[in-house]
Amino acid sequence: MKIGNFEIKGCAALAPMAGVADRAFRELCIEFGAAYVVTEMVSSKGLTMHDRKSDSLMLLGETEKPAAVQIFGSDPATMAEAAKKAAETGCCAIDINLGCPAPKIAGNGGGSALMKDPDLAARITEAVVKAVELPVTVKFRAGWDENSINAVPFAKLQESAGAAVITVHGRTRRQMYAPPVDIDIIRQVKEAVKIPVIGNGDIVDPVSAKNMYDVTGCDFIMVGRGALGAPWVFNQINEYMKNGIILPDPPIEERMEIMVRHIKSLCENKGDYVGMREARKHAAWYIKGIRGAAALRQEIGSLETVEQLKAIAEKVIKAANSSVTI
């Protein structure tokens, strides 16, 4: 798939998950085969007001390319100004968030709330397209709720507004992340527009990835929660799509090494205090499903140092290689 002049080589992209898809995780997913990454959503208002946190969310590492910067907001002029600033990061595209279901975002008229006002959403995209030379992509949902599934006409308006690529998450805002995901709506969008379509929603392994491609005919896929604690899922998807082979998960020892390396990178980027507190959720994802994981939840919940994390990793490895429960 191409986004503007950038060719995306591979089978799956990393979704722009707030609080998760930071630089450390994006770089790790690229290492494990992600073909394309998108930053956490960045407030357009924050960017135009020179907010330091907003600026930091856009920092791109040398290895995480091609990458897009995702922005959100509800005012076309502010979004256009924010896009200009985002374009200075060296990203390959500007992605517009039209699908975030979080009350804090949707409640202020951004994210998925814009699906209730397709004309405003189109004006936002049009303003951003005019403001930057980079390709502009958009990500949205099936609709606001089950009574207003409007992804197809919404996609057509976005295409007319100049969007280069659209990503569709097959759930409504009301669903948040609850099942089921409707991938048929993604198929309908793909059939309705001429620009590339990326399918998103419940892609957790090679089989679900292939099913998304087969059922929808989409041009590309985007993995979100399926990569949490399992960045190697991209290599598994690539191998299955190319050769029909399902690679096993890495051995426990390797998984723990990846976890520690991930958290070290997180701390290097954000400092130990913030990094170790964010490490708690990542550590819980990395050990999910492993023997004795439940017994370590309290210990993980109070992580403060990398040394403590290493000690937990050693306990996990020991338990996995013996019949002894942690």
- Residues marked active site are found at 100
Closest CA to 225 of 211, 204, 247, 210: 204
| CB-facing half-sphere around the CA of 298: CA atoms within 13 A | 2
CB of 34 closer than 8 Å to CB of 12: yes
Can you tell me which residue has the tokens 């998960």? Answer: 249
Give the span between the Cα atoms of 284 and 4, in whole angstroms. 38
Q: Is 304 helix (H, G, I), strand (E, B) or coil?
A: coil
Beta-strand ranges (E) seen in 133-196 are 136-143, 165-172
Going by their DSSP bridges, the two strands 165-172 and 136-143 should be labelled as parallel
CB of 282 closer than 8 Å to CB of 274: no
CA distances from 183 to 147, 191, 209, 212, 218 (A): 17, 13, 11, 7, 10
What sign does the dihedral 45-47-53-56 (CA atoms) show? positive
Going by their DSSP bridges, the two strands 93-98 and 136-143 should be labelled as parallel
Give the span between the Cα atoms of 259 and 216, in whole angstroms. 34
